[in-house]
Chain A
């Protein structure tokens, strides 16, 4: 039952009434019904008048044309009529309280939807905005379902994004799109916060698929939405990626490019997004690593490089398998269902078909990058692309370094070498000759190196030996590029180099192999070497060898203990009850001591290595070089059981290894590595312009308060001194003064006297 004394509270405006109804819906039912009837009559009036173009529509119908135009101008203005604002107010009121009266307002949401969907062209913007926010509110109050809301949002989004839809000047299409888009995103986010709402996701994705099925440019919204949701980690499955593949293959340029850019950038975007959100613990011992790297050789640049490398490793690790995952952390390219088919279609329809000219160069380069990344990651075979690249590989081509990096990424060892060979030859012919600029030659050499590091057989011996000759170039970039090519082939196939370029180790190895009559280590087409067993085990084996055998057996036990000590923080209580406190403590100390000893030895051995007895080092290194992961795995796994300490060490070594890889020391499996187009040309220093120089000078002057000029910065306020005035006096005025003129007429003797007197005076003053 309602309250008796409520008549004392007479609501005179909607807001007050809303408050009262919300507090006590039962008592104020009559008022609510009255207002609902008011809403209905307002809506009817609106349907009759408002939809035909403002309140004065009837007036214009009855009047002559001249007057009509003047009233039209009045009605189309920004002011909204009172009935519209009343309707807005009432719509807000009803949607606020309609959860209290579900029976009476059963039809209300569908009315709003109909108004919005069928009459959106004639509604004023404010009303549309209000209805949108009310529908969202109804969704939040669970009056309508999320699916219903999405079904009314999407058609609007589509309707307001087409240009030729005869939308009036005051349709506010842009604002509406923005509102709808943000509503969609926040809706999907809120539905997916506590566990994924698969049903909603699937239905929304179906809508996206449908949008992309149409030939017009509406699908751009599907891609935009998908990309945003991917960035936030809300959608992360292969269906999402499938949407984007469909977008990338779309006929419309805009959609296709947005799909392509998704594959190129979306993962990085997502990583950045999550990076901002969380910066937590560092997984490995940073300082120890740094110390080790710096023991080898000290230089500031190297240190900085190391730090950067560590940062990237950390980033990789954070999203790697070690971190707890709230979402599927696969990159979009890995989630592709049919990479080969996708790549083939992409190449056929966008790059080689009749319609290839619809993309401009920038977009074509993006397409090339995507294709090459697909090919590199999944080891696909799209043979057409290599001849396609030939057209663009000339020094005069705009953005040629980016094309070169794409062409390098598109290579891997399963492609027939003769296919890539054409490309390599073209690059060598066009870029690497005496007549071109240094950076051009450097870019050519670096690209060839990148290609060869992925497919070592792509180059023939003669060409390689020709290119290697550039190691004597005076230009630093070219020189470095040629040397890096040598370094690569020393590692991969030393036989292809000339004897004098092979280097000591490689030469000895080749000789040894020839002496023993073994087949060379030269790579062959179609033979793959994969890592099996434990990743990085060869590093551990190497480390064991380097650190000698002496500390292997002794601290094996200690190793178990050390890590037990580290681990049992949680189960400490249980362990204490085992009444072996004393021994346990002793063990801990022992192991610590031993560890320290081991560390010392390690450093010693390092010093020794860098020291004088080179023979030993040679031998060891060669052993290490020989070791391939399979052999290492067999050796270590068969001889001993890996302790937790070993695994810790392994992890550390792998970190170090990945750091080293980034620093350009190792080049092994680089399928997914990207070729940075900026580094291809090597370091170039262009002459600075005047503005740049000036800027640099000004930069140097900042913050030099003690030594900088004090002009215009006097500490206490005063007038100018006589001496300052004298100094600043106009020259022409002062030369006519008598005191100055007489100086000129002075005899030589007098001049001398005056000078002497001045000098002695100055000396007395102490200058």
Chain B
């Protein structure tokens, strides 16, 4: 009677257990379960050095959910471009900021354009290095389902063309033309225009003007040789000739000169390229020289452009003026 149950239990732990076959050892009453269930063990990184001026820490802010943060980060980077232009930060900065072409906020996109301008004014070579990703994202923006992003995509294109026109037109001539046509609503396959394009066209002609400008620049850089463009012709030609003829085995002046051969790119195989029509064959075509570009343009795009330009010229206004310029350019190039 005197001993409580707890005391008895305590005593039990010190009693000698009778062994029995097939009976496992009983657990002590005060045994603690130390097992744990976890798929991964995460160990925090040791941050030994905390550099407040380390800009790499700010790179992740480019993906921040708050619009203002993204915009301000872009502005910070833009301000510090002169100091970091030759550092290692540039590559991650560009790879992380280029996806902002498809950002939903207009301010962020504007900030990105400013940043690109800043970089281009300091060192255009850096932009040329990342030309590929640029074109991919611009293309994506051109087909984006939000019409605002679509409308802004040509701005990026024209700014990019300013700095690395040669690379852009060489690598993705047909692709970009397709994109610009899509933005302008000049459908090639169907007879109908895209619904979103119809709406924006009604609403404001400002965007059309920008698109037409971009197209003008594209055609100018793509189809017109440098002499006609008014570049210092003598030096350019002599330089090109000399480099082509005299030093074919020296280091080329542009990065990845053999990229168009697609030796090291991952790509999905196309089962039957002929089945998809001329556009697909053109897309796979390498447009390295002016002649091919011209041929592709005149074959695929010229009739549509001429037809559409007439309509815009008739409507007049700012757009009409730009369209007229474009018409003149086309007449000059394809006479």
Contact = CB atoms under 8 A, between A and B. Distances in A.
A138 B100 CA distance: 33
Contacts of A31: 194-196
Contacts of B267: 47
Contact of A42 (B59, B140, B272): B140
A648 interface: no
A7 B198 contact: yes
Interface residues of B, number: 48
Interface string A339-373: 00000000000000000000000000000000000
B92 A62 contact: yes
B195 A7 contact: yes
A69 interface: yes
Contacts of A28: 195
A437 interface: no
B132 A48 contact: yes
Interface in A63-113: 63, 67, 69-71, 73-74, 83, 104, 106-107, 110-111
B178 A37 contact: yes
Nearest to B189: A33
B145 A107 contact: no
B194 A41 contact: no
A61 B92 CA distance: 8
Q: Size range of the interface on A? A: 35 or more
B91 A38 contact: no
B195 A10 contact: yes
A59 interface: yes
A281 interface: no
Interface string A16-46: 0100000000011111011101100111110
B199 interface: yes
Interface string B192-205: 11111011000000
A74 B182 CA distance: 36
A10 B189 contact: no
Contact of A83 (B99, B182, B194): B99
A30 B193 contact: yes
B271 A110 contact: yes
B40 interface: yes
B136 interface: yes
B145 A38 contact: yes
B65 to A, nearest CB: 11
A13 B146 CA distance: 8
Contacts of A51: 266
B67 to A, nearest CB: 14
Contacts of A13: 145
Contacts of A56: 92, 96
Contacts of A106: 271-272, 275-276
A609 interface: no
A56 B182 CA distance: 31
Given A6-B195, A63-B88, A37 B143 contact: yes
A3 to B, nearest CB: 9
B27 interface: no
A41 B140 contact: yes
A178 B334 CA distance: 61
A762 interface: no
B144 interface: yes
A62 B88 contact: yes
A34 B136 contact: no
A62 B192 contact: no
Contacts of B140: 38, 41-42, 45
A444 to B, nearest CB: 24
A38 to B, nearest CB: 4
Contacts of A766: none
Given A10-B195, A33-B189, A38 B271 contact: no
A37 B180 CA distance: 12
A115 B182 contact: no
A110 B132 CA distance: 25
B66 interface: no
A12 interface: yes
A11 interface: yes
A14 interface: yes
Contacts of A35: 143, 145
A29 B146 contact: no
Contacts of B137: 41, 45
Contacts of B99: 55, 83
B136 A48 contact: yes
Contacts of B268: 43, 47, 111, 114-115
B56 interface: yes
Contact of A30 (B142, B192, B272): B192
A17 B145 contact: yes
A44 B136 contact: yes
A63 B56 contact: yes
A58 interface: yes
Interface string B79-97: 0000000001101100110
Interface string B226-265: 0000000000000000000000000000000000000000
Interface string B129-169: 00011001101101111110000000000000000000000
A690 to B, nearest CB: 14
B96 A59 contact: yes
A9 interface: yes
A47 B146 contact: no
A38 B144 contact: yes
B34 interface: no
A17 B147 CA distance: 14
B52 interface: no
B4 interface: no
A30 B190 contact: yes
B145 A62 contact: no
A700 interface: no
B199 A34 contact: no
A169 interface: yes
A547 B137 CA distance: 97
Interface in B41-100: 42, 45, 56, 59-60, 88-89, 91-92, 95-96, 99
A435 interface: no
A324 interface: no
B91 A7 contact: no
A26 to B, nearest CB: 8
A34 B143 CA distance: 5
B49 to A, nearest CB: 9
A69 B40 CA distance: 16
A34 B59 CA distance: 32
Among A27, A30, A33, A69, find the residue whose CB has the most chain B CB atoms closer than 10 A: A30
A386 B139 CA distance: 77
A2 interface: yes
Nearest to B202: A7
A10 B196 contact: yes
A10 B150 CA distance: 14
A27 B143 CA distance: 18
Contact of A48 (B39, B133, B146): B133
B208 to A, nearest CB: 16
B143 A38 contact: yes
B187 interface: yes
Closest 7 A-B residue pairs measured CB to CB?
A59-B92, A38-B143, A62-B91, A58-B95, A41-B140, A30-B194, A41-B139
Interface of A: 2, 6-7, 9-14, 17, 27-31, 33-35, 37-38, 41-45, 47-49, 51, 55-56, 58-59, 61-63, 67, 69-71, 73-74, 83, 104, 106-107, 110-111, 114-115, 119, 169
Interface of B: 39-40, 42, 45, 56, 59-60, 88-89, 91-92, 95-96, 99, 132-133, 136-137, 139-140, 142-147, 178-179, 182, 187, 189-190, 192-196, 198-199, 266-272, 275-276
Given A30-B192, A71-B60, A73-B42, 13 more contacts: A2-B192, A7-B195, A30-B187, A31-B195, A41-B139, A47-B267, A48-B132, A62-B88, A63-B56, A70-B45, A74-B60, A106-B275, A110-B269
13 contacts: A14-B145, A30-B193, A33-B189, A38-B145, A56-B96, A62-B89, A67-B56, A73-B42, A106-B271, A106-B276, A107-B272, A107-B275, A110-B269
